[in-house]
Amino acid sequence: MGLIADRMKNVPKSFIREILKVAESPDIISFAGGLPNPSTFPVKEIEDACRYVLENDGQRALQYSSTEGYYKLREFIAKRYEQKQGLLISPDSILITSGSQQALDLIGKAIINKGDNVLMEEPGYLGAIQAFSVFEPCFKTVMMTNHGPDTDSLEKICKNGKIKLFYGVPNFQNPSGVTYSDKVRSEASKIFLEYGVAVVEDNPYGELRFMGEDIAPMRKHNPDGILLGSFSKIASPALRLGWITAPPEILDAVNTAKQAADLHTNYFSQRVLYRYLSENSIDKHIESIRALYKTQRDAMVASIEKHFPPEVRFTKPEGGMFIWMTLPEKYDSMVLFDAAIKQSVTFVPGKPFYAVGGGKNTLRLNYTSCTPDKIEEGIKRLADAFKNMAF
Amino acid sequence: MGLIADRMKNVPKSFIREILKVAESPDIISFAGGLPNPSTFPVKEIEDACRYVLENDGQRALQYSSTEGYYKLREFIAKRYEQKQGLLISPDSILITSGSQQALDLIGKAIINKGDNVLMEEPGYLGAIQAFSVFEPCFKTVMMTNHGPDTDSLEKICKNGKIKLFYGVPNFQNPSGVTYSDKVRSEASKIFLEYGVAVVEDNPYGELRFMGEDIAPMRKHNPDGILLGSFSKIASPALRLGWITAPPEILDAVNTAKQAADLHTNYFSQRVLYRYLSENSIDKHIESIRALYKTQRDAMVASIEKHFPPEVRFTKPEGGMFIWMTLPEKYDSMVLFDAAIKQSVTFVPGKPFYAVGGGKNTLRLNYTSCTPDKIEEGIKRLADAFKNMAF
């Protein structure tokens, strides 16, 4: 008898982590990561917050705490939903998670039965594919256009077979950089409501818009929508602080699952982050991140336009951290990957983002970790590798 | 169609958390918790460690990190296993978890198929019952004696049906305070090896021995044993730092599950804890915790002997945080609980610690949160409530 449970056989390993190992050499220009630029981390302010919390309430801040999470932090999140998006969400319907990745695990546990149909974007977030795979769903996918999932396909898919759950990243999606238009959000929400599909709206990048206008979340069209958030991209990912807001029945099951999973999220970090948020302007801080990422995004868009031939298509994100590139169909981005490594440049081939296969000729480019000069140099090398591919 | 997954129906809610809500009133003397005494937390030293980490490597300490955990912290753990227990464990076979509770979730995911026989202690740790329940095992239990699980029953159980996994807490068990004798460890290990039972040895309290001699872990008898540890009881629970060490095949599956569950454990806390451990003597710190808990344990043992009649049996732990009380069979500790609340004293009734039912006349008493005076007063009140129980 093998000791490993059957469910683990379906869980893809992260190809990205393998790539990151290759990318550790200092000569390599890496577009493979998905990391925020560390120069944006509020190091000094977090230090001040640590000191304050430990000097004023140290014993409490180092003790066990509640499964739901620090109430003041949940209040902060609720207030921000109201101020920024006009969403009225009670702090009581928010649960703090160990990064928004954990929210995916808890949702999988709380909702997905083996064999349930779970609808993913194509391409979709790899971490969600991994987290849900553990619970052995039957994945379906809906194709992404430049404005979000194709709503005609969406309607057909929902009509053809019971879909229990849809997972999407409407703002500056990982991996594609695509943002759902207001029209797509409204039409998709209508379809989900009609066919009784539970919606998980993940929003790790929403605050990182550097051009265009904010668009209201799908949650606006559907009060029963599950909404996820994260402090990883606007404060620090090491603190592993995210959250989930969901209707009572689901939140109750998520709470039970959370208790079984790790009792509660790191309480010291919750206290420190809350102190940081209450003593500093997070809006001002986010403004500086946006300004930086816009420069990097502009450099990458300009370099691709300059060095790649027009038959290579790519997205032009209005925020977030990623550009998605589609090569002509005959190309294989895995082959390009090997050629690129020889030119000391890396990226993530698109295949792992396709939950049910496909994506051979696609790839993801991250621009938040390099200077504009490095971006120009890296894209030039990548274009050279592309042009030298033989058939 | 209900939205909640079937697996959640089997997961018991923590009765303890409900009790803790009742216990919040300041008049109440609570023996219900399982919290370390916050006066032992190294607040000032953690503050120094935060400052050092942020001032010397702040950007890195706030960035994403590896799923396995901070290598130096894993090295520290490996060295301590060698120094304290003569166990040779490579840092590479250690993975840092969000508290040892998360190790239970990851083991459940990685090993338990629906319907697998999982053997628990009776009474056993509630958090493990909860964590494993999510993966729908068939629980079996083995009765605890004052020296660990009854080995005759153990052999019968293992012979009678394939047991995939055994979970136990050999040192100062939660809830019973019982420590497995060396003989029981050796005999039990022989049985597990003979019948191919995977062993999970959880050890959150092992460092908190205040009398008697340390006993080698079962892992000594079985190199394939899975061993869990935690910094919650010797440093701070809020940091949620624990670990798992397991053979390669299992660790590989656990790593994949960890990646899907939350990418990695809070890296800032790992860095801070490691700095704390490298700049301070954890042995000295543990010595002071042991001294405090021994005073509290002695006060509780003396008070029970003084106020309770001899037909009420109780354990006399050599370490850890709990005493287990067994009332004469006709008594119901839930009824005592209601009577005790009226006397402003609380404890945890024993039933939730029985994975397959039973334990009506048992209860758990925690002594780490009260002064000896309060312990004497609380036990007196509890004995009064007991004596007044009518039939």
pLDDT tens-digit profile of B285-317? 999 999 999 999 999 999 999 999 999 999 999
As beta bridge partners, residue A365 has A323
Q: Is the CB of B264 inside 8 Å of chain A's CB atoms?
A: yes
- pTM greater than 0.95 (yes/no): yes
Identify whether the C-beta of residue A380 lies closer than 8 Å to the C-beta of residue A335: no
Instruction: Examine the domain organization and report whether A219 and A250 are in the same domain.
Output: yes
Residue A34: other Cβ atoms inside 10 A: 22
Among the partner residues B162, B196, B268, nearest to A238 by beta-carbon distance: B268
- The pLDDT assigned to B26 comes to 77
Copy the structure tokens of residue B365. 């008493």
Q: Which residue, of A260, A279, A298, is where some domain finishes? A: A279
Among the partner residues B130, B253, B259, nearest to A259 by beta-carbon distance: B130
- The pLDDT assigned to A391 comes to 64
d(CA B318, CA B212): 6
Identify whether the C-beta of residue A323 lies closer than 8 Å to the C-beta of residue A317: yes
Instruction: Examine the domain organization and report whether A12 and A72 are in the same domain.
Output: no
Q: Is the pLDDT of residue A15 over 80?
A: no
What residues contact residue B346 under an 8 Å CB cut-off, 6+ apart? B19, B22, B23, B28, B29, B30, B31, B32, B337, B340
Partners of residue A110 in chain B, C-beta under 8 Å: 4-5, 8
pLDDT tens-digit profile of B209-222? 999 999 999 999 99
pLDDT tens-digit profile of A226-278? 999 999 999 999 999 999 999 999 999 999 999 999 999 999 999 999 999 99
Which helix (H) or strand (E) covers residue A117, if one does? strand A117-122
Q: Is the CB of A40 inside 8 Å of chain B's CB atoms?
A: no
Q: Is the pLDDT of residue B390 over 80?
A: no
DSSP A277-329: HHHS-HHHHHHHHHHHHHHHHHHHHHHHHHHS-TTSEE---SBSSEEEEE--T
Partners of residue B46 in chain A, C-beta under 8 Å: 54, 58, 62
Which helix (H) or strand (E) covers residue A155, if one does? helix A151-160
Residue B55: other Cβ atoms inside 10 A: 11
The structure tokens 């207030």 sit at: A79
- The pLDDT assigned to B1 comes to 47
DSSP B319-380: BSSEEEEE--TT--HHHHHHHHHHTTEE-EESGGG-TTS--TTEEEEE-TTS-HHHHHHHHH
Copy the structure tokens of residue B168. 């136990």
- The pLDDT assigned to A1 comes to 47
d(CA A90, CA A71): 11
pLDDT tens-digit profile of A21-38? 666 677 899 999 899 999
Instruction: Examine the domain organization and report whether B26 and B99 are in the same domain.
Output: no
Optimal mutation site among B199, B224, B263, interface A, most CBs of chain A within 10 A:
B263
Confidence of residue B21 (pLDDT cuts 50, 70, 90): low
Whether residue B193 lies inside any domain: the answer is yes
Q: Is the CB of A4 inside 8 Å of chain B's CB atoms?
A: yes
Whether residue B53 lies inside any domain: the answer is no
Hey, CA dihedral for A136, A137, A141, A144, is it positive or negative? Answer: negative
In terms of Cα–Cα distance, which of A85, A389, A109, A353 is closest to A255?
A109
Q: Is the CB of B17 inside 8 Å of chain A's CB atoms?
A: yes
Instruction: Examine the domain organization and report whether B206 and B332 are in the same domain.
Output: no
Buried b (16+ CB within 10 A) or exposed e, B274-307: bbbbeebebeebbeebbebbbebbbbbbebbeeb
Q: Which residue, of A250, A279, A308, is where some domain finishes? A: A279
Q: Is the pLDDT of residue B235 over 70?
A: yes
Q: Is the pLDDT of residue B191 over 60?
A: yes
- At residue B136's C-alpha, the angle toward residues B132 and B138, to 5°, is 90
Q: Which domain holds residue A140?
A: 45-279
Q: What CATH number did the domain enclosing B77 receive? A: 3.40.640.10
- The pLDDT assigned to A2 comes to 81
In terms of Cα–Cα distance, which of A275, A185, A196 is closest to A239?
A275
Chain A CA closest to residue B247: A3
User: In B, residues 144-183, which contact A (CB 8 Å cutoff)?
Assistant: 162, 164
d(CA B73, CA A280): 32
Identify whether the C-beta of residue A242 lies closer than 8 Å to the C-beta of residue A266: no
Tally of domains in chain A: 2
Instruction: Examine the domain organization and report whether B241 and B331 are in the same domain.
Output: no
Confidence of residue B391 (pLDDT cuts 50, 70, 90): low
Instruction: Examine the domain organization and report whether A105 and A54 are in the same domain.
Output: yes
pLDDT tens-digit profile of B258-275? 999 999 999 999 999 999
Q: Which residue, of A242, A264, A279, is where some domain finishes? A: A279
> What ipTM did this prediction achieve?
0.96
Cα-Cα end-to-end distance for chain B:
46
Instruction: Examine the domain organization and report whether A275 and A187 are in the same domain.
Output: yes
Q: Is the pLDDT of residue B365 over 50?
A: yes
Give the side-chain half-sphere CA count within 13 A for A66. Answer: 16
Chain B CA closest to residue A235: B62
Backbone phi, psi, residue A98, to 5°? -80, 80
- The pLDDT assigned to B175 comes to 98
Q: Specify the amino acid at residue A280.
A: N
Instruction: Examine the domain organization and report whether A318 and A228 are in the same domain.
Output: no
Whether residue B328 lies inside any domain: the answer is yes
Instruction: Examine the domain organization and report whether B147 and B257 are in the same domain.
Output: yes
Confidence of residue A112 (pLDDT cuts 50, 70, 90): very high
Copy the structure tokens of residue A60. 């409490």
d(CA A356, CA A122): 9
Average pLDDT on A113-141 reads 97
pLDDT over 90, % of chain B: 93
d(CA B325, CA A144): 61
Whether residue A1 lies inside any domain: the answer is no
3-class DSSP state for residue B29? strand
Among the partner residues B43, B62, B97, nearest to A62 by beta-carbon distance: B43
Instruction: Examine the domain organization and report whether B269 and B369 are in the same domain.
Output: no
Confidence of residue B240 (pLDDT cuts 50, 70, 90): very high
What residues contact residue B236 under an 8 Å CB cut-off, 6+ apart? A62, A63, A268, B41, B42, B46
d(CA A319, CA A170): 12
d(CA B81, CA B4): 42
Chain A CA closest to residue B60: A38
Residue A161: other Cβ atoms inside 10 A: 11
Average pLDDT on B333-337 reads 95
Confidence of residue B13 (pLDDT cuts 50, 70, 90): confident
DSSP B161-225: S---EEEE--SS-TTT-----HHHHHHHHHHHHHTT-EEEEE-SSTT-B-SS-----GGGG-TT-
Whether residue A76 lies inside any domain: the answer is yes
As beta bridge partners, residue B143 has B122
Instruction: Examine the domain organization and report whether B188 and B91 are in the same domain.
Output: yes
Instruction: Examine the domain organization and report whether A310 and A196 are in the same domain.
Output: no
CA A353 to chain centre: 12
Backbone phi, psi, residue A7, to 5°? -60, -25
The structure tokens 């005790």 sit at: B340
